[in-house]
Amino acid sequence: MSAELDFAQVAPFEVRQPARQTAPFVFNSPHSGRHYPPRFLAMARLDAEAIRRSEDCFVDELFSHALTFGAPMMAANFPRAYLDVNREPFELDPRMFLQAPPPHANIRSARVAGGLGTVPRIVGEGQEIYAGRIPLDEATSRIEGIYKPYHDRLRGLVLATQARFGVAALIDCHSMPASIRVGDSGVRPDFIVGDRFGASASAAMTETAIGILISLGYTVAHNKPYAGGFITEHYGRPARGLHALQIEVNRGLYMNERTYQKSNGFLPLAEDIGRFIARLVMAAPFGEERVPLAAE
């Protein structure tokens, strides 16, 4: 399959494990992948810089302290422009393909309409990725060869964590453009914490995460404009002891969005995110559920 060829030399994703998992948390960075296969770039109408507009640059590095505090991290190496695992498996835009999508495809979601389906049509603010229609096999290959194995591995990490600790929290890590503003106030949030309006995590989990970030001096929004995507919605089942939060970090805090280079703010922000992780893990805010102090 084409996806196998695209990632024959570089694994499409990886799981970074602590020496021993001591926290009932799993961290995930699905949009920070920065391996752009040459075959994919040859298909695209955008140059190697413009195609990075949807990339959550360096987010896996910002949250790398997860391992220090006993939690695994999963990270994509494939770029979001190539495949978006924060979508349903078959959110496909029929305008993109030479053949019709299969009957089970979701072709009418708001995300598909916006060009941001499982195989995206655009990056950034409406820049078309491809010059024309592409074979449907391209989408099928990426979904079967990368999307499904990615979610199989992520699901395994979450369920293994729950089996070990009795509960599990998935922290889905993302970045957002510096231009993002919240509502009529026009406030630029440093972080946005999304819990699908209370459906994907306990109130205690959400409130603790927001409170820690505020105590570190950051401006934090809740669910607006990002409440969480497919991953948060799909994995968050607080009634079953499975919690999921989406954390969005403002790129203006740590990088130059024009050059894709880290700024002087990167290291201080990474250290603060490390403090955030340490305090969140220590608090273990799972509502009324009891969490073992240590896993054997």
Q: What is the pLDDT of residues 124-164, one digit of tens each?
A: 888 999 999 999 999 999 999 999 999 999 999 999 999 99
- Rounded Cα distance between 259 and 248, Å, is 20
Instruction: Say what the pLDDT of residue 288 is.
Output: 60
Average pLDDT over residues 273-288: 92
Tens of pLDDT, residues 205-233:
999 999 999 999 999 999 999 999 999 99
Q: Structure pTM?
A: 0.95
- Rounded Cα distance between 160 and 67, Å, is 16
Q: Are 246 and 175 in contact (CB under 8 A)?
A: no
Q: Which of the residue ranges 78-87, 178-187, 193-202, 260-269 would you say has the lowest mean pLDDT? A: 178-187
Amino acid letter for position 28: N
Handedness of CA 83, 85, 86, 89 (dihedral sign): positive
What ranges make up the beta strands (E) of 210-293? 220-222, 242-250, 255-256, 261-262
What ranges make up the beta strands (E) of the chain? 13-16, 25-29, 73-76, 122-123, 127-128, 168-176, 191-194, 220-222, 242-250, 255-256, 261-262
Average pLDDT over residues 30-46: 97
pLDDT at 123 over 60: yes
Average pLDDT over residues 19-28: 98
pLDDT at 182 over 90: no
| Nearest residue to 168 via CA among 219, 134, 202 | 202
What whole-number percentage of the chain has pLDDT above 70?
97
Band of pLDDT at residue 294, cut at 50, 70 and 90: very low
Average pLDDT over residues 91-120: 97
What is the pLDDT of the chain when averaged over all its residues?
95
pLDDT at 268 over 60: yes
- Rounded Cα distance between 160 and 77, Å, is 23
Instruction: Say what the pLDDT of residue 125 is.
Output: 80
- Rounded Cα distance between 187 and 215, Å, is 18
- Rounded Cα distance between 165 and 167, Å, is 5
| Nearest residue to 205 via CA among 251, 159, 249, 172 | 172
Average pLDDT over residues 67-78: 98
Instruction: Say what the pLDDT of residue 134 is.
Output: 97
